[in-house]
Structure 1
Amino acid sequence: MADPVISLVIGRIVDLLNKNSVFLKDVERQVEKLKVDLVWMRCFLKDAEQRQDEDARIRNWVFLVRAAAYDAEDVIEIFASKVESIKDKGFVTRLAYYPWRNVSLNKIGKEIESLQTRLDDIAASREKFGIKNLGEGTSTHGEELQRIRRSVEDKDIVGFEEKTKSLVAELLKEDKNRRLVSIVGMGGAGKTTLAKKVYNHADVRTRFDCHAWVCVSSSYNHKETLRTIIKQLNPITNELLDMLEKMQEQDLEERLRQDLQDKRYLVVLDDVWKEEAWDCLAGAFPDVNASSRLLLTSRNREVAQHADALSHPCELKTLGQEDSWQLFLKMALGHGANAGCPPDLEEVGREITRRCDGLPLAITVIGGLLVAKKKLKSEWEKVLNNFSTYLSRSQSGVLAILELSYADLSPKLKFCFSYLGLFPEDHVISVRKLIQMWVAEGIIQKRDAKNLEETAAYDVEQLCSRNMVQVAETTVDERIRSCRVHDLLRELAIRKAEDEIFFQIHDTRDDEISAKSRYLAVHSLPLDKNYFGSSTPPLRSLLFFNVRCHRKNISLIFKSFRKLRILDLENVNMYFNLPKGIREVRLLRYLNLRGTYISRLPHSVGCLRYLQTLDIRNSEYRLRVKVSNFIWKLESLRHLYAYWMVCDVPLKIEGLRNLQTLSGIRFEDVMHNNMITLTSLQKLGIVVDDRSEIDKLCMHLSEVGNLKTLHLCCNSDMRWPQSLAGLSRLHHVTELELVGLDLRMLPLDFPPNLSRLSLRSTYLMDDPMPVLEKLGQLSFLKLKATYFGPQHVVISRHGFHQLKFLELSRLLALDEIKVEKGALPQLRCLRIRSCSRLRKLPEELKHISSLDALELVDMPKDFISRLDADLVSSVPNLRTF
């Protein structure tokens, strides 16, 4: 397998060479030789990659090659960015460009010669390091997965049934005292999976007054743990968040005690590593004879016994031989275990299972690797025969197995997986955000630029199908919305990334920023003016996490970060406007300012010609961001997120042919632009008010052929006087969201091909179902704080014949849902949230054979207790939150 960094960088160098051939023709020979030398060196990297853990000299040789490849890309791309900056200048400036061009070409020529000398020196040292020439025939993994499977769900883990029953019984014991129940076992043994089964068990959910789950983790933060629990026990408001941020530890402990006082509570403390962590938390959980319970998971049995000496931990040693085999068959063959194993594969399959030593994580990862391979004995034997090599590299057999799965990834997927190590432990990662970062990094290469995100989404699915990444949340149509990385796999990602992509996580004040770092993640640090000191690393990605409370200027001298592609400042409360010096970071492709409270963007952002993603959404939905009239200059822009952008003049956006997502733009700005020029636009979010003429807007958008999603958000508190009849002109729109429009009654016409509809705060006074149930292609419907009329809604016979997902949220006057026989024949999921007056669920639900999931969120306890037993038993998945 060729080195992932070299493979990607060479591809990007070739692309840069092709794009700038006119400007580089005088140094084309040097650039071409540079590319050839890097390709040549790549031939030796498979052998080096397999041996670098054993030999520090080889590891150093590989390090030098990677560094040279990065520097080569930087030299060419910085020159290309300067060329781009000249394109739109005036005639006089373009005349002045010619002498500048000669100087710049001379300079880049010298830089390439310097790089060439470095490569020659590296090549000369190869023989000394003993790296064999493997030749051009070195094979790489080019097969794609034949099918994408879902990540393993809890129900797929075998061998936990009896333990689940035992733990549920333990939690439900008639013991008035507060008791602690614990699960212990090695990493990857399934402690969290088992805890989730117990926590979500129907009997457990109905027994306790309140529930909370917190992951304590090895990097324990007492304040943050207390805040996390309190947030789950209270409605989330800005006042609560601000109060929690200001509270000291003692105040937080007292608040938690008050929230739990006189209640029967269940709190899960997942992944507790140290006895000190329990000692800090124990006093915050009152014991008031209410039969409350704590469920603790830990890798350390002594931690569980220290927390409760009378408790007998449920110990997950490993799966038994037969359970391991059944799990292996499910994962490796992609079907139920009862189907059996092909006879010629059984012997080698059982040996692979034996070497996994009963660890569920190891079995699922190896199974994910094998499912992508041909069902041939020779292919399975290759995996088996490589075990000893990988086991010898690490004292941890688990990491060795995980490393085997890593080694089988393509260079691109290796890079993608390593990149995940930047995110904090147990962090739930937005897949959309991750995809945009990968695209910005140039990890995703495809000729058809419109499909970059689709390609990246497929890469996420590949990682999940191999169980290298876990699915955290999916959409109704089963797309992956968010993911996370198991801590063992994250450890592997970090170990690989530190060597391969010059990666650094900065999580203590005493850490020094390495001058060689190219990917830097800042975790939970109070920042100060001397944060980077005198170090100016050649950073490509700079990400901040958990620094929400920071209120001082971050000392980012942008001239020092000219190689930066990604700058993620999400939730860093800067409370100041972005410095004009941002123009110096000309290679920047991803700029995330979400939740930073920045109120104005400087005009110099218009210099960022490579910028693909710009996120300026503030924490406050109605907080405006003032934007100078520069958006039209960002010709590479693909995604622009805002809640409400304002500009002194009509905001120009015409001609942005790469723009796919545009949100937070005002009605009047849309009307001043020829939207047909936005040939890639798929998602559009418009801020409207009571003066906006929706009919004219729809006419204006009717020819935007790729527009699929339209959000209309009203920032006016006045009654909505305008007609929405023009929506029927939007033949291309399949998803519509209306927010804050005081409609009182629904329009009779909607986009004719509408499949997804969300209505929020629309203040309807008539039952909306008679209109909505006639939308023939509607598959997704979400109503939130939408209906304030009579106390019931009626879904008539054969109504909603295509609907698969229905959510009714915060319909505070609703006391009854009537569903006639034959309605909702395709419904898969019904979610009811915060409908406090609803008395019961409709009886007809038990006759909807397609209904797979019933989710009840923040519903009254007496409503849960009155659930019809026959109805509950007829739905495969009942979830209460």
Structure 2
Amino acid sequence: MAYGGLSSLTYTLEQLLKPNQFLICGSCTQHVESFYQSFCVLQVFLEDITKEAKDIETLKVIEGRIRDVIYKAEDKDDSSLRNIILADCEDDQQRACIFFNEELLKVEEDVDSLRKEVMQIEFNNHRNKSAELARTSSSPGKSSIEENMIVGMEDDFNTILDRLTAQTDELTFIPIFGMGGIGKTTLARKVYDDSSIRSRFDKHAWVTISEEYNERQMLLEISSSITGRNQEMSNDQLMEVVYRGLKGRRFLIVIDDIWSADTWDQMQRIFPNDGNKSRILLTTRLKYVADYVSCPDFPPHCKSFLSLEDSWNLFTEKIFQKDPCPALLEEIGKPIVHQCRGLPLSIVVVAGLLGKMDPTHDNWKRVEGNVNSFFGTVSERCQSTLSLSYSYLPQYLRACFSILEVF
């Protein structure tokens, strides 16, 4: 990507400009200094232009241009420096240095052209920001939107609520299953944070398992929730602390994102069954795990996709809160929502992106063009949706993600 290439190239140029290094001659140093300053300006520009990320297509174009110039400069830089380093005598080194200088001059034309493009884009951005400020200066700012929004989950919420408050005395396990991004964790969190639920239990704990089960981490999280402090102990000692901390008390434990029956077999040993209406709420993507965990009287609860109406309500609440969606945007917004196929994660991500943009027909149309390409399985659509968020990350985080992808 452009930012990563810029970082690498500016670092190389910075090394060439250090005092007491005699790899390049004085005439070359002047051009290297000029390129270094130009590339630093481009680096700052890329950081600034992605902070608001209002026009991703323009960003892609300018990134492509910067990337082309960087690769060309880096290629010439590396090959020319190699010739200088490998020169056998002073005359060869001098010729290699002259060649390096000539190559830098060729790249300088591309850099100047690119700098003009950058200045033009900056000018357009400042002009657009001024126009936006004039339009919105008299409008009150939007308050933050509640993250635990459960639009379309009311029936699920009431079902789980009924199961948690049932008159069954035995320790009861209540699994919620469904594919990733369907809203299992959001539903569980809404239930867990509900004041009427919390008041029914003496002890509460939330632990996230994920695909790779870490027993010690799980024990530390539950122990910390129960005792209010972290404890340096062995796993066996932590198990005893958890068991004793829950013994005789009515507790609610949420085990989020459990992936295997074996994991459940290892975990359930630490939960006492005192016949006092204690409950354990679990979320999982796998039906066989939900079936394995559930009690006969409490079959697994399947978290399903949102209806089109609920999808639209979630979408508009995320962007406009309680305000109605403008009619001009509604006619393009509903096809966008339809493409999300009722998957809350996709809806929230797309709505989050649109919320960062000016609410114009052109901006929404561009997003619709991306969403319309999300065909294939639901998982593929979800992955494509999340890839949009990558495009709106700050440049330094995008570089970080690109490096992590190698691993």
Decide which of 318, 333, 355 is 1:331's aligned counterpart: 318
Contact 1:14–1:35 (8 Å) recurs in 2: no
Decide which of 25, 28, 31 is 1:29's aligned counterpart: 31
Check if 1:303 corresponds to 2:289: yes
Per the normalisation by structure 1, the TM-score is 0.34
Give how far 1:215 is off: 0.9
Give how far 1:219 is off: 2.3
RMSD over aligned Cα atoms: 4.6
CA distance in structure 2 between the aligned counterparts of 1:15 and 1:344, rounded to whole angstroms: 51
Corresponding position of 1:205: 198
Contact 1:305–1:313 (8 Å) recurs in 2: yes
Corresponding position of 1:488: none
Corresponding position of 1:219: 212
Contact 2:339–2:372 (8 Å) recurs in 1: no
Per the normalisation by structure 2, the TM-score is 0.69
1:529-568 equivalences in 2 (<5 Å): none
CA distance in structure 1 between the aligned counterparts of 2:17 and 2:313, rounded to whole angstroms: 52
Contact 1:391–1:400 (8 Å) recurs in 2: no
Corresponding position of 1:681: none
Structure with more strand by fraction: 1
Contact 1:184–1:313 (8 Å) recurs in 2: yes
Check if 1:260 corresponds to 2:246: yes
Classify 1:214/1:9 alpha carbon distance in 2 versus 1 (closer, same or farther; 3 Å). same
Query: In the alignment, residue 397 of structure 2 is paired with which amino acid?
Result: C
Query: In the alignment, residue 416 of structure 1 is paired with which amino acid?
Result: L
CA distance in structure 2 between the aligned counterparts of 1:349 and 1:10, rounded to whole angstroms: 42
Contact 1:271–1:297 (8 Å) recurs in 2: yes
Classify 1:151/1:46 alpha carbon distance in 2 versus 1 (closer, same or farther; 3 Å). same
Contact 1:387–1:404 (8 Å) recurs in 2: no
Q: Secondary structure at the match of 1:32?
A: helix
Classify 1:395/1:292 alpha carbon distance in 2 versus 1 (closer, same or farther; 3 Å). closer
Corresponding position of 2:183: 190
Give how far 1:268 is off: 0.7
Corresponding position of 2:365: 381
Number of residue pairs the alignment of both structures matches: 346
Corresponding position of 2:223: 230
Give how far 1:280 is off: 1.1
Classify 1:384/1:258 alpha carbon distance in 2 versus 1 (closer, same or farther; 3 Å). same
Corresponding position of 2:89: none
Corresponding position of 1:3: 2
1:251-400 equivalences in 2 (<5 Å): 251-308=237-294, 310=296, 311-332=298-319, 334-336=320-322, 339-389=323-373, 396-400=380-384
CA distance in structure 1 between the aligned counterparts of 2:225 and 2:181, rounded to whole angstroms: 26
Q: Which runs of 5+ in 1 are unaligned?
A: 51-60, 76-105, 124-132, 420-493, 505-881
Contact 1:390–1:403 (8 Å) recurs in 2: no
Q: Secondary structure at the match of 1:386?
A: helix
Query: In the alignment, residue 212 of structure 1 is paired with which amino acid?
Result: A
Classify 1:6/1:317 alpha carbon distance in 2 versus 1 (closer, same or farther; 3 Å). same
Higher relative contact order structure (alpha carbons within 8 Å, sequence separation ≥ 6) = 2
Query: In the alignment, residue 200 of structure 1 is paired with which amino acid?
Result: D
Classify 1:379/1:365 alpha carbon distance in 2 versus 1 (closer, same or farther; 3 Å). same
Contact 1:171–1:293 (8 Å) recurs in 2: yes
Corresponding position of 2:396: 415
Query: In the alignment, residue 342 of structure 2 is paired with which amino acid?
Result: G
Contact 1:298–1:304 (8 Å) recurs in 2: yes
Give how far 1:252 is off: 3.0
Give how far 1:204 is off: 1.3
CA distance in structure 2 between the aligned counterparts of 1:353 and 1:233, rounded to whole angstroms: 42
Give the fraction of aligned pairs with identical amino acids, expressed as a percent: 28
Give how far 1:49 is off: 8.2
Corresponding position of 1:401: 385
Check if 1:175 corresponds to 2:168: yes
Structure with more helix by fraction: 2
Classify 1:192/1:395 alpha carbon distance in 2 versus 1 (closer, same or farther; 3 Å). closer
Query: In the alignment, residue 282 of structure 2 is paired with which amino acid?
Result: L
1:292-691 equivalences in 2 (<5 Å): 292-308=278-294, 310=296, 311-332=298-319, 334-336=320-322, 339-389=323-373, 396-407=380-391, 409=392, 413-416=394-397, 419=400, 494=401, 496-498=402-404, 504=407
CA distance in structure 1 between the aligned counterparts of 2:100 and 2:260, rounded to whole angstroms: 55
Q: Secondary structure at the match of 1:241?
A: coil
Corresponding position of 1:740: none
CA distance in structure 1 between the aligned counterparts of 2:178 and 2:72, rounded to whole angstroms: 39
